[in-house]
Chains A and B, each alone.
Chain A
Amino acid sequence: MQHDPSRTSYYVGDEFYQSLVDSYADWQTDDSEITDPALRDTCRMLLDKEARLLDQNRLDDWLTLYVPECLYWVPATPHGGDPRTEIAVCFDDRRRIEDRIYRLQNEYAWSQRPLSRTARLITNVSAFSTKDPDTLMVRSTFLTNEFQAGDKRSYTGWYGHKLGFQNGGWKILVKQVNLIDCDQNLRNLSIIL
């Protein structure tokens, strides 16, 4: 039976969690680092595009970079944790990302009224191969500056993107956002990182 992941959440189950935990364990090894500049550049372009669309608040366009059964994950523990037994800052499947976007576009989402302006820097991009040739892991370092209602703040850390090659291009399967202060009390984290 086919399910629309925008409406129902059948894919977030034991198997999904296990493969998530597995794919985020020990992936940044020296011998799996991709040295082909063209492939790395492809990854970098995808990350740059993602940052641009988020800075431009084009959230619906941003989501087209993701596969239907995707995940946006901001762990609350520095080691990433096991999301089956630990609360995360954000753990959004497709439907919940769409919820998040819906809310951000709702004029009564007070935490985002006025809307934040953001400027994201992404650097130190390294790509890593996996056992599956159609799956890559990408590590990058980010600094997201946010301005809202007279106040400037920033978030920093590193991203772990899991990419899949689908229909002739690379799409985002999972975005893991590792804030350096993910286990601290954070003020109005209502933007998408």
Chain B
Amino acid sequence: MTPDDSFTSGITRPTGAQFDFNELIFEDRVHQSIYTEEAIFREEMRKVFGGVWVYLAHESQIPENDNFVASQLGLRPIIVVRDSTGRIRALYNRCTHRGSTVCRQQQGSAKSFVCPYHGWSYFNSGKISGVPWPDGYADDFSDPKYNLAQVPRVQSYRGFIFGTLNPDMPSLEDYLGGVKKPLDDWLDRHPGGKLSFCDANRLKFNGNWKLLYDNSADGYHVIFSHRSLLAMENRLNEADDEDKGMSYYKSSPDNAPFYVKVFENGHHYKDKRPAVDTSPGGLWAIEGPHPGMEHYEAIIRDKLGDKAGSVLDLASSEPVNINIFPNLHILGNHVQVSQPVSLTETDTTWWGTAVIDDKDELHGCVDAVNALRMRTQESFPNFGELDDLMNFEQIQAGLAGVEDEWVYMHRGLGIPDRIKRDTDGYLIGPPTDEVFLRETMQVYKRLMMNEPNLVIGREIEAAPD
């Protein structure tokens, strides 16, 4: 029996180690192999995780000199440290002798790191400080090649620490480009324009890391993937109003007043604020139920009267998604970090954030606000994200049908006047369109088609930027 021609298509699935990304990534679709091929994943760990600025840690995790926190740059184990002189560095957690990790704690304080295997030791600047029984070496260890490797370029933007191995990358600020604005706005709604990390909801899923990034500005899935969450948040409402949580997605979100905006370098932003009342107390009014809500609300209203609304809003989720390629997401009050573990395994850590109120701008209510914030932040990872992660896992499972080659992302494509440009030239589309995904895939394609020149630092005295 001959197959009906109309049901066949040319199999372009590449074989061997060579992939032509012109054949894998098109405007409207991408090939399944970018999610399923081990060789592509290995290339990503160089070309993306290393080749661009990658988020590593937050300054509030290392507030004092000598503080360190474990991180990763792609699969490379990294120690992000504020060294004894106060400079933030990202050291390779890899002994220069025979390769062991030198630090096995998640977080702490150390002036030096001593390798447990043969005892080579290093200052927290990465410089080697000594080896046991040096007489046994003809070498005097003054050559910087014995210093710990380190990420040669480490820069922070308002507390967020990034690193790249690529000397050809522009500065971090230039890399962030337009996404700095929503990030600034998100920070500036808090007293002093700052926040501190306060532990996390830590999740993982059996799927490729890009599945999470692909979802990050996706307003198309909300009503379907989060159906149980929306039902749950509105189950106690009076009468018929369904206004809690992300209910604003319910009626024709294509024409909703909110939007997705696409910046350079794969960053994007979903601004849902136009869909909600953002006058003082507006965000609080649409929060779903949380432990302690009525108790603290009564106290704050009692204390602050008219001014209570804006303080309560700080305990509420800010309705934005700010996505910074490839691994950082700001949403609600969370800082969500994604970490590839393998081709088909990804960790996603939802750091909670607390308000710092040095100048008492919240009139003595900061502890109440933070007690509320802890509970509001636990809600989405527990009752929303788990459903998305299950769907990502099931995409990975479905993609095992490798002969069905394409993954489509053409929502909104080819419809006149649907996608616009703002005055800065950034694309803007309805929150349910896949324009953010198409644009990110073009950025990804360019990265994957170029071999970056990756370097490590050893010369710890030379000032990196």
Contact = CB atoms under 8 A, between A and B. Distances in A.
B352 A99 contact: no
Contact of A99 (B235, B294, B371): B235
Q: Is the interface of B mostly helix, strand, loop or mixed?
A: helix
Interface stretch (A50-58, A102-110, A130-138): A102-110
A108 B227 CA distance: 6
Interface string A49-90: 000000000000000000000000000110001011111111
A56 B198 CA distance: 36
A117 B449 CA distance: 46
A162 to B, nearest CB: 17
A55 to B, nearest CB: 20
A11 B393 CA distance: 38
Q: Identify which of B206, B225, B294 gathers the most chain A CB atoms within 10 Å of its CB.
A: B294
Given A13-B296, A102-B235, A183-B106, 19 more contacts: A7-B236, A8-B294, A9-B294, A13-B299, A84-B367, A86-B352, A87-B198, A87-B200, A87-B352, A93-B291, A95-B291, A99-B232, A99-B233, A99-B383, A103-B229, A106-B227, A111-B387, A187-B203, A188-B205
Contacts of A8: 293-294
A116 to B, nearest CB: 12
B347 interface: yes
Contacts, number: 133
Q: Which 5 A-B pairs have the closest CB atoms?
A: A12-B292, A87-B352, A111-B386, A108-B227, A93-B291
Interface string A101-126: 01100101111010000000000000
A14 to B, nearest CB: 8
Contacts of B294: 3, 8-10
B382 A100 contact: yes
B308 interface: no
Given A87-B374, A108-B227, A187 B206 contact: yes
Contact of A185 (B236, B348, B378): B348
Interface residues of A, number: 45
A184 interface: yes
Nearest to A7: B236
A110 B295 contact: no
21 contacts: A12-B292, A17-B371, A76-B200, A85-B354, A87-B378, A90-B382, A95-B236, A96-B289, A103-B229, A103-B231, A106-B228, A106-B232, A108-B228, A109-B228, A111-B387, A111-B390, A186-B203, A187-B203, A187-B204, A187-B206, A188-B205
B125 interface: no
Contacts of A189: 203, 386
B290 to A, nearest CB: 7
Contacts of B370: 84-85
- Chain B interface residue bracket vs A: 35 or more
A185 B349 contact: yes
A27 interface: no
A92 interface: yes
Contacts of A85: 198, 354, 370-371, 374
A166 B348 CA distance: 42
A95 B375 CA distance: 12
B295 A11 contact: yes
B378 A187 contact: no
B289 A9 contact: yes
Contacts of A184: 202
A185 B203 contact: yes
B404 interface: no
B156 interface: no
B291 A91 contact: yes
B383 A89 contact: no
A35 interface: no
